[in-house]
Chains A and B, each alone.
Chain A
Amino acid sequence: MKTALALLIALSGLPACATVSQNRRARFADPMMSIGPRPLDAARHQKLYDAREGASGGDGTTAGGGCGCQ
């Protein structure tokens, strides 16, 4: 976990690393390039994994909340 935190702190310097001008970001308009899952996809994966893996939650999802079938 300490390694992960160190990595995270190192990555927090990313905004200073690169600049890509707005007229060169056309690729990111494609839905395939979305960096995070769409909300409905995230909900499905949360339902699949959070109710079946004790290692769920901790990353902004509703760990332990919701369905009592956990």
Chain B
Amino acid sequence: MKHAVRAGVALLACAVLLSVGSSSARAQADDTATNAAPATPFSDSEIFGPPSDRLKLESVTTRITAFDQSGYGYQSQAGPLLGPGSERTTILEPITEIVATQGERLTHRVVIPVDIVTAASADALDKYRKKPDVLSHASRYNEAGAIDWTATYKTTATTDVSIRSAVHLEEPLRSWNGSLSATQTIADGDATLSESLLEVFDWFDHFDILGFRHGRTQRSTTTGSFGITQILTETTAVAVNYGLSVQKGELGNTWNSVPLANGKRGAEQLPTERVRHAAVARVSQFLPWNGALHVYYRLYHDDWGITAHSVEGELMQRIAPFLYVSGLYRFHHQTGAEFFTTLAPTAAQYRTADSDLAPLDADTIGGRVVVDVPLDARTKSLHFEAGYERYFRSNDLQVNVLTWETGYHF
């Protein structure tokens, strides 16, 4: 019995000693760890400044794009009576984008594009002419501008809600559009779900093909879309999107003309409703030689009988840490609207000779050079971009697009 008691006391003493020893070792290890721990990492406020509800400018970007178009279409009267007329137009579009944050959750993005158009739209307010020149050219000069404001609020760490409102002013046209959209990241940021609802109202002057004004007309467009963006691997991301648009009202520009079988020209006659479906898939792939490949496919179908496939590839190559170049090719094929014609029966219910609604193939080739010059170790940088694209269609339309962009990130 005594041996048993001694053994028990010895075991208890060993246990106590072991316990004290291990506690001491842990404490020493903790002390060592504490002493060896690096300095506390910088907090967000130390890097980006203390949080504030004041507006903070993040970036200002300006871009000037010139579109130079030539070609012929049967809707234009700038040619033989029953033949295709000129679609010549030049558009200069300066555009400014301002991004600002307000506090930690709210981001504003304001875009102000201005279009200076020659020979494109009916120039309703041209004081030097009694009526718009829709006979030989759509118009001589036209100016258009817009303000587009998007406010994005981060409701949670993974959810953003955006409200967008835009007003477009053009001499014969006023347009308003508003949208509500949301994005949510899931799977630890690997996937992003997005949904949006967009409404567009257009009010514009109604001109006949002789150039006489007949009051105003309107149309509306409602679009809903949803999509998923997914990071598949360390170097691959994909995105898919589906959208549905319903348009109602006057769906033409009102002054397009159609050659008629009786040897004259008549007005374009279009349905007052159109339902459009579009599905888009994108892949972004990093390439081992410090490049990237973007592939885009879009499938489109509407109830006017147009089905279209568009495929685009853009290959990018980084030349230096601050410089990359890219080359782009796009192919587009579409069937024509059921009522497209270049010589319509006079009794046809619907008719159009608009070359944009014809069966066609279109190619785009282009390239750009992008330079981002860092100005400090944080986010301050200068951005330059120069680009050129040539768009050419199988039914005689060519467009040259030149772009120059500068930006400053604060």
Contacts and interface: CB of A to CB of B under 8 A. Distances in A.
Contacts of A40: 61, 63, 95, 97, 111, 405
Interface string A44-70: 100111011111011111111111111
B245 A35 contact: no
B57 to A, nearest CB: 17
A40 B191 CA distance: 24
A69 B308 contact: no
Nearest to A14: B230
Contacts of B393: 52
Contacts of A7: 240, 279, 281
Contact of B229 (A35, A54, A61): A35
A53 B308 contact: yes
B49 to A, nearest CB: 22
Contact of B111 (A34, A39, A58): A39
B365 interface: no
A32 B316 contact: yes
Contacts of A1: 277, 279, 299, 301
Interface string B201-232: 01010000000000000010101010011111
Contacts of A30: 286, 292, 318
B76 interface: no
A19 B190 contact: yes
Given A15-B190, A22-B188, A44 B401 contact: yes
A30 B372 CA distance: 11
Interface in B214-264: 219, 221, 223, 225, 228-235, 237-245, 247, 251, 253
A55 B279 contact: no
A55 B93 contact: no
Interface in B278-294: 278-282, 284, 286, 291-292
B187 interface: yes
5 contacts: A7-B279, A35-B238, A40-B405, A53-B360, A62-B177
A28 B231 CA distance: 9
Given A32-B316, A59-B241, A68 B111 contact: no
Contacts of B126: none
Nearest to A15: B191
A20 B316 contact: no
B161 interface: no
A63 B241 CA distance: 16
Nearest to A68: B173
Interface in B353-410: 354, 356-358, 360, 362, 364, 370, 372, 389, 391, 393, 397, 399, 401, 403, 405
Interface in A13-46: 14-22, 24-28, 30-36, 39-40, 43-44
B100 interface: no
B279 A52 contact: no
A25 B231 contact: yes
B122 A28 contact: no
Contacts of B153: none
B356 A64 contact: no
B276 A11 contact: no
A43 B389 CA distance: 14
A39 B280 contact: no
Contacts of A48: 67, 364, 389, 391, 399, 401
A64 B221 contact: yes
| A-B residue pairs, 4 tightest by C-beta | A58-B278, A55-B308, A65-B200, A15-B191
Given A58-B300, A69-B121, A22 B189 contact: yes
B168 interface: yes
Given A15-B228, A48-B401, A64-B221, A58 B189 contact: no
Contacts of B117: 69
B113 interface: yes
Contact of B239 (A20, A36, A65, A68): A36
B235 to A, nearest CB: 5
Contacts of A58: 223, 243-245, 276-278, 300, 302
B346 interface: no
